[in-house]
A = this chain, B = another copy of it.
Amino acid sequence: MLIQRDTAARILDARASTPSAAPAPRRLRRGALLHLPERCDHLALRVAEGCLRVCHPLLDGRRQITDFLFAGDRIGLMEVRSHNGSIEAVTPATMVAFAAEGHDPEEWPADDLYRMRLGALQSRLFMLGHKNAREKLAAFLLEMSERLAQGEDGFRLPMSRYDIADYLCVSPETVCRNFTQMVADGLLMLPDSQTVRILHRASLEFIGR
């Protein structure tokens, strides 16, 4: 059940006329694509539940994942659209479209949206530029452990090894090998391939920072 064309725009209109009416949440099935309306300069998305990925197709057929989105995360739709991006559900996801860029400054000042995104991109620049696969994976796991924040007994990665690979810009095999290596080194436990329990956070931080 995709968000239909211009649904977000209608949500925006509804909010403009009756500011107190909360926009209806939308659901995406696993693997489904979020439709980005043609005119979405002032629209943003807030994830209520689930996990999404921001994908960009590359000329050679591969894809790059520029971000994962979890509950509470927000992103400007125009920014994704203007770089040939798409937003896909990694797990069943619920989200809300809302107005940004001054149309709804109380809820989300446009500056903040830009600033946060710039910060995230900068971090990824440093990561992709100068970290090797092991360091990338360590940084990724630390980032996920913070953003997922599911308590001390480990966390579940909702995305596949392929997704992780496209996020870190390495091959899926390399992701696997480094998972295995980290387990062998006693940094992690992997009760199953999705569940991660960090055993030596300090070491991971030493590697990943």
Contacts and interface: CB of A to CB of B under 8 A. Distances in A.
18 contacts: A58-B126, A58-B130, A60-B130, A62-B130, A64-B125, A64-B129, A64-B130, A79-B115, A79-B118, A83-B122, A111-B114, A118-B118, A121-B121, A121-B122, A121-B125, A124-B125, A128-B129, A130-B169
A117 interface: yes
Interface string A112-147: 001101110110111011100000000000000000
One complex includes copies of this chain to the number of 2
Interface of A: 56, 58-60, 62, 64, 66, 79, 82-83, 101, 110-111, 114-115, 117-119, 121-122, 124-126, 128-130, 169, 209
A40 to B, nearest CB: 14
